[in-house]
Amino acid sequence: MKQSKLTAILGLNWGDEGKGKLVDILAGKSHFVARFGGGANAGHTIYVDGKKFVLHQIPSGALHPQCKCVIGNGCVVHLPTVIEELEELKKAGINLTGRLFISDRSILLFDFHKELDGLRENSAKEGKKIGTTKRGIGPAYADKINRCAFRAGDLLHFEDFAERLQDRLEEINKIPGMPFKFDAMREINLYGDLAERLEGMICDASTMLREALEDGKPVLVEGAQAALLDIDFGTYPFVTSSTTTAGGIFSGLGIPPQATDIIGVAKAYTTRVGEGPFPTELLDADGDKMREIGHEYGATTGRPRRCGWMDLVATKYAAKINGCNSINLTKLDCLNDFPEIKVCIAYELNGEKIDTLPANILDYAKVKPIYETLPGWKSDTSKAKKIADLPAAARDYIKFIEKFTGIKVSYVGVGVEREAMAS
């Protein structure tokens, strides 16, 4: 067997670190880009020659014609979104015919899941809302675990699929508070149509990826969401409903555990969209400045992202859980105009200093950040091609992060474009 070449790009904070950009860069040399979890709650932004692409459901390898894209079994898939994205890409001259594959074991996410998501969020008490993307993620994963979901491969047995969907919609229509009744015939016809359009794409993606790895072909794994939104290790219950950390790669793609180059992506400051504790959040002019300079508005929902200083306690915790070999520090350019830069190096909880995330959310809501203040660089970084090209204070900031986490920073984002990456 040849040496496998598996690389994974995983978010180290609360999402939106800039994973899509690095995936797009590395996809140029990859045979496959595969998503192992999440669904259209993701919003991955790529800029090429001034043109912006935002992908939710389709992997960020799409822009490279040699790259095959896989939606793995660990994902929840809203097929109408897949079609919409395929059409958008086609309009931009990007054709995915013959290079998009959807695992036959991936879970179908229907519009009724989105309604259930919205219903739960709208009826939650103040302080208990998760601030989901309302893309139906929680209800779809709940159906998977509850063993009543529909899988993409079920579409290939359409008679049984239609019968089950009719029964499920009858159940859904009886749920108190449902704003309208789903028309079973309409949904069945829609999915009949989708089954025809997507037939060649629904396949045994696990075998396809395993064989590619056995052949020594490079496979890139695209993380969605991030470690602090992980269902087990995130800030539960203010998390998403999937495994976003490294362990999910193997179950979410159906490939055996193996040596993997894991690149963690962390912003040079921190953002969070949605509810839940955020120790370094800045509710002041610095936070607003980060939001404006970094254009911190959700790629999926357009919500303003909450902004704050880099949290090295959370980043190190995430990097250790993922077993990162290196870090991509992104959006360094967005700090160019700050005279001083703070980084959180420990938390204080009940008068004691701690260096990890407490499991309980009430404790996490109480932690206070302990900061180290570093000098800013107050100069342009956007032309840097190498990390060595960066101003000395920016390099010191990077060295501080490396020393604290024990992990090398191998890539530094200095702008939105594909080329704006120092390494």
- The residues annotated with a catalytic role in the active site are 16, 44
Contact with ligand GDP (CB under 6 A) among 19, 68, 113, 151: 19
Q: Taking contact as CB under 6 A, which single stretch among the options 125-133, 154-162, 361-369, 408-416 is the one that binds ligand IMO?
A: 125-133
How far does CA 141 lie from the centroid of its chain?
A: 16
Specify whether the CB–CB gap between 7 and 260 falls below 8 A. yes
Residue 328 as a binder of ligand IMO (CB under 6 A): the answer is no
Figure out which of the listed residues 21, 135, 210, 316 binds ligand GDP, where binding follows CB under 6 A.
21
Q: By CB under 6 A, tell whether 384 contacts ligand GDP.
A: no
Q: Is 335 in the site for ligand GDP (CB under 6 A)?
A: no
In the bound state, the residue with its beta carbon closest to ligand IMO is 274
User: Binding mask 47-86 vs ligand GDP (x if CB under 6 A, - otherwise)?
Assistant: x---------------------------------------
Query: Of the candidates 149, 240, 333, 422, which one interacts with ligand GDP according to CB under 6 A?
Result: 333
> Per CB under 6 A, does 264 bind ligand GDP?
no
Cβ neighbours of residue 184 under 8 Å, at least 6 residues apart?
165, 166, 169, 170
Q: Which of residues 297-316 bind Mg ion (CB under 5 A)?
A: 299
- Of 43, 59, 72, 413, the one binding Mg ion by CB under 5 A: 43
415 binds ligand IMO (CB under 6 A): no
Residue 298 CA to residue 291 CA, distance in Å, equals: 11
Q: Count other C-beta atoms under 10 Å from residue 286's C-beta.
A: 16
Token pair in block for residue 123: 């009826």
Considering the complex, state which of residue 67 and residue 420 has its C-beta at the smaller distance from ligand GDP: 420
Q: Which residue in the set 8, 16, 133, 381 belongs to the binding site for Mg ion (CB under 5 A)?
A: 16
Q: Per CB under 6 A, does 334 bind ligand GDP?
A: yes
Provide, rounded to whole angstroms, the least separation between the CB of residue 44 and Mg ion: 6
From Mg ion, ligand IMO, ligand GDP, none, interface partner of 307 (C-beta below 5 to 8 A by class) = none
Which residue, 43 or 136, has its beta carbon nearer to Mg ion?
Answer: 43
Q: Is 11 in the site for ligand IMO (CB under 6 A)?
A: yes
Is residue 415 a contact point for ligand GDP (CB under 6 A)?
yes
Total residues binding ligand GDP (CB under 6 A): 23
| Beta carbons of 367 and 349 less than 8 angstroms apart | yes
* Out of 27, 33, 42, 246, the residue judged to bind ligand IMO by CB under 6 A: 42
Residue 413: contacted member of ligand GDP, Mg ion, ligand IMO, none (CB under 5 to 8 Å, by partner type): ligand GDP
Q: Does 314 bind ligand IMO (CB under 6 A)?
A: no
Q: How far, in Å, CA of 244 to CA of 338, rounded?
A: 32
Closer CB to Mg ion, 27 or 299, in the complex = 299
Q: Which stretch binds ligand IMO (CB under 6 A): 13-21, 82-90, 182-190, 314-322?
A: 13-21
Of residues 7, 11, 141, 347, which one binds ligand GDP by CB under 6 A? 11
Do the bridges between strand 44-48 and strand 51-55 make them parallel or antiparallel, or are there none, so unpaired?
Answer: antiparallel
How far is residue 389 CA from its own chain's centroid? 30
Among 9, 15, 248, 296, binds ligand IMO (CB under 6 A): 15
Which spans of this chain sit near ligand IMO (rule: CB under 6 A)? 11, 14-16, 41-44, 130-133, 135, 137-138, 224-226, 229, 240-241, 273-274, 299
Site for Mg ion, rule CB under 5 A: 16, 43, 299
What residues line the site for ligand GDP (CB under 6 A)?
11, 15-21, 43-45, 47, 295, 299, 330-331, 333-334, 413-416, 420
